[in-house]
């Protein structure tokens, strides 16, 4: 039985590719040859034409947040729109909470 595949994302191309996971191997985009970001096995890409969702995804992935499965289901909450990202980043600046933790909040207090 082979290992499962995981998603790698190229943000400039707005493309996602499922490939076997190798921690030591750098993945390059087949379109532009840039290094891709490991997004995780529970990642579902937004439609390529949805620029708002890809900008939100860019902030999430560049903050070091992945879409990895957990023992109890999926990866948990991740912001899907730029408005959700902006609200959580403003909350992080206002309270001093790390941006990565604020982006994972389902609801803001």
Q: Which residue has the tokens 């190798």?
A: 22
Sign for the CA dihedral angle at 73, 77, 79, 85 comes to negative
Q: What is the mean pLDDT of residues 91-108?
A: 93
**pLDDT for 72:** 62
pLDDT tens track for 47-93 = 999 999 999 999 999 999 999 886 666 677 889 999 999 999 999 99
In percent, the amount of the chain with pLDDT more than 70 equals: 92
Q: Average pLDDT of the chain?
A: 90
Query: Maximum distance among all alpha carbons in the chain?
Result: 49
Give the other-Cβ count within 10 Å of 26's Cβ. 8
Tell whether the model's pLDDT for residue 1 goes beyond 50: no
Query: Closest Cα to residue 20, out of 36, 9, 4?
Result: 4
């Amino acid at each position: 039985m082979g290992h499962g595949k995981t998603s790698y994302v190229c943000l400039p191309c707005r493309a996602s590719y499922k490939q076997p996971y190798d921690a030591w191997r750098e993945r390059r985009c087949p379109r532009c040859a840039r290094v891709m970001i490991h997004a995780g096995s529970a990642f579902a890409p937004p439609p390529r034409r949805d620029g708002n969702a890809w900008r939100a995804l860019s902030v999430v992935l560049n903050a070091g947040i992945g879409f990895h499965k957990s023992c109890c289901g999926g990866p948990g909450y991740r912001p899907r729109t730029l408005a959700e990202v902006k609200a959580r980043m403003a909350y992080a600046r206002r309270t001093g909470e790390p941006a990565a933790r604020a982006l994972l909040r389902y609801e803001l207090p």
